[in-house]
Amino acid sequence: MGARPTPERLSLLLGLALLMLATVPRYLVGGHGTRLNLILMALVAVLVVASLQWRLLAAEARARLPRLLGRLGACLVAGLVGMGAWHALFTDFIGWELLISHATTLGLLLHALWLWVKVPR
């Protein structure tokens, strides 16, 4: 319960917030108002937790965060390329809102896996 926040956790929280934002157009286009409201409420909760994690980070941990966010951005771009290639090869055009949602999901998964492999235990 008393674990110290880490910049890795914060980068994952920010990635989760981006993932939630990426699903908003999908719910708008699909007319899923209830799901949209739920995802927006969850987004607010994630952002509150992320801001609390930021405040609890030590100065040296905050210094590591820009590199982690750069890695998150690279993973999101890799997710976009990967999902773009996947959908170009194996599916019909599905719409940009679904592509962005899938790409962000893959990017966040890649970032989490990269952190899992790189973080010393």
Residue 2 maps to a domain: no
Count of domains forming the chain: 1
pLDDT tens, position by position, 59-81: 999 999 999 999 999 999 999 99
Task: Please give the structure tokens belonging to residue 29.
Answer: 């286009």
Query: Cα separation of 82 and 57, whole Å?
Result: 33
For the question of whether the overall pTM of this predicted structure is more than 0.75, the answer is yes
Give the 3-state secondary structure of 38-102: HHHHHHHHHHHHHHHHHHHCCHHHHHHHHHHHHHHHHHHHHHHHHHHHHHHHHCCCCCHHHHHHH
Which pLDDT belongs to residue 30?
87
Q: What is the rounded average pLDDT of the residues 4-27? A: 94
Domain housing 78 = 7-118
